[in-house]
Amino acid sequence: MESISAAHQTLEKKANLDRTLTDVQALIDQLQRTRDAVAETPELTAMHVAKLKQPVKASFDKIEESLKDVNKGLNQYQKALKEKFKNAQLPTASNEVLGGENGLVNRAIAMHLLREGKFGVARTFVREVNESQEQQYQQDRGLNGNPAANDGWIQEFADTDAMIMEMESEGKLELREDGEVLDGKGHLQKKFTEMYHILEALRSQHNLSPAIAWARENSTELENRGSNLEFELSRLKFVELYTSSEETMSEDSMTGPLRALEYAQAVFPTFSGRYSREMSNLLGSLAYSSGLDESPYKTLFFNQHPWEDVATSFTREFCSMLGLSSTSPLYTAVTAGGIALPILEKVERVMAASRGQWTSVNELPVETPLPPEMLFHSIFVCPVSKEQATDDNPPMMLPCGHVIAEQSLHMHSRGKNRMKCPYCPNESDPKMARRVYI
């Protein structure tokens, strides 16, 4: 994988489109200036066009030259991939796991684009998927009168065009001031637009105001979830105000600490119940304002990644309130697949050499080490049958709280209306058992 990694780094650093885009923008600006000049002095149009001929040719030459580096980098990357996997035949038993789940795949792609703020691309993608489904609908109806049903997820992404065009007409992607909620349609677009707007303010502008306003609006729900986000934002605001005097070099060296103290007096009382120790440390630092970098509280003020940390916390809480994971499922799936690919490729080579065969559809033949953040499902082993739970034999929780496999449940109940739990004296109706999703 070293050659692929090196080719990827080369492509990312030296063979990207940054220089090409700069040259194209310079050419556009030059054409714009010429157009303005022609509009001002129409009688000199021929002269303006003649003066433009040589610069345009030079610009195209520069663009073509920069694209050569891009093509060269892509060719090297393709060569490295072919060299690495030239003899690899990846297992085919589970290649089509999502073959019949196009809706899930398309929804994951659309949600990933929205998470990344690519609203225009998401709009085009959803529209083309919808058009493709409409064509399939017409074909199915014409062939056998049994039309294919449209994916329900598209309703979640409805009204994308109208909403994004409205934001684009204002020259920037931001929420509408009237705060109108799209009932049933466009809900995810609006939510992710709001998230992207706040994240842009945090990461690019270091502006805490939108995030703090959102946290206050959802304060009750965040508190019920045990979230620290609202206090983290307020703490970062305190630090920002505290250190502002050092950044601006104001005449009054206490301007920053005093502003931070004023902010703390207005905001911190609402957090006194849960964060009294943290607030004491922040307020105690005021005594060391002249030598903060040598004080016992310096770690509170010299965090290397405060804005990225709070942006990550905000993303996690925002997505959790929508019932979604904080990381894009598409990103997680692709990353996990990239980690597993070398292992599976090696397994395939070993099986080919030993003339073995991978026959399991639902399980990998080897353990695939993944980072802790990518481990979502624990394995449940029935304490009665000692068998691992599967989709056909899922874990079932009895009213008493004990969990056994579904087959064990049927074995113990044997069609009776009452059964005794294998691990406690409680009796219950087997129909009251509920499936557990791990």
The answer to whether position 352 is within a domain reads no
Q: Do both 78 and 131 map to the same domain?
A: no
The answer to whether position 370 is within a domain reads no
The answer to whether position 126 is within a domain reads yes
The residue to which tokens 């502002």 are assigned = 244
In which domain, by residue range, is 130 found? Answer: 103-145
Q: List beta partners, residue 404.
A: 396
pLDDT at 152: 60
Q: Are 146 and 140 in contact (CB under 8 A)?
A: yes
Residue type, 311: A
Per-residue pLDDT of the chain (438 residues; tens, 9 = 90+): 677 777 777 777 766 677 788 888 888 888 888 888 888 888 888 888 888 888 888 888 888 887 877 787 778 777 777 777 665 554 444 445 555 677 778 888 888 887 777 777 888 888 888 888 778 777 766 555 444 444 566 666 654 444 444 444 444 344 333 333 333 345 666 787 788 888 888 888 888 999 999 998 998 888 887 888 888 898 888 888 887 754 444 444 557 788 888 888 888 888 877 888 888 888 888 887 777 777 777 777 777 678 888 888 888 888 888 877 777 888 888 888 888 888 877 877 777 776 656 555 555 667 778 887 777 666 788 888 888 888 888 899 988 888 999 988 888 888 788 888 888 888 888 888 888 877
With CA atoms as reference, report the closest residue to 415 among 435, 432, 431, 396.
431
Q: Are 358 and 91 in contact (CB under 8 A)?
A: yes
The answer to whether position 296 is within a domain reads no
How many Å apart are CA 306 and CA 379, to the nearest integer?
36
Structural domains counted in the chain = 3
With CA atoms as reference, report the closest residue to 193 among 206, 179, 205, 207.
179
pLDDT at 158: 55
Kindly state the DSSP code that residue 381 receives in the 8-state scheme: B
Q: Are 266 and 216 in contact (CB under 8 A)?
A: no
Q: How far is CA 140 from CA 129, 135, 147, 203, 417, in A?
A: 16, 9, 5, 48, 47
With CA atoms as reference, report the closest residue to 179 among 200, 193, 168.
193
pLDDT at 185: 45
Q: Do both 53 and 111 map to the same domain?
A: no
Q: How far is CA 72 from CA 85, 116, 133, 182, 350, in A?
A: 20, 29, 38, 47, 34
The answer to whether position 353 is within a domain reads no
Q: Do both 140 and 74 map to the same domain?
A: no
The answer to whether position 184 is within a domain reads no
The answer to whether position 256 is within a domain reads no
pLDDT at 175: 36
The residue to which tokens 């001929």 are assigned = 53
Q: Do both 8 and 64 map to the same domain?
A: yes
Q: Quick one: which H or E segment has residue 104?
A: helix 102-115
Q: Are 205 and 198 in contact (CB under 8 A)?
A: no
Q: List beta partners, residue 434.
A: 397
Q: What is the torsional sign of CA 371, 377, 379, 380?
A: positive
Provide the whole-model pTM: 0.53
Q: Do both 69 and 118 map to the same domain?
A: no
Q: How far is CA 316 from the centre of its chain?
A: 10
Q: Are 202 and 215 in contact (CB under 8 A)?
A: no
Q: Do both 63 and 26 map to the same domain?
A: yes
Q: Do both 7 and 80 map to the same domain?
A: yes
How many Å apart are CA 357 and CA 343, to the nearest integer?
16
The CATH code of the domain that includes 402 is 3.30.40.10
The answer to whether position 25 is within a domain reads yes
> Which of the listed residues 38, 56, 84 is the one where a domain comes to its end?
84
Q: Do both 13 and 63 map to the same domain?
A: yes
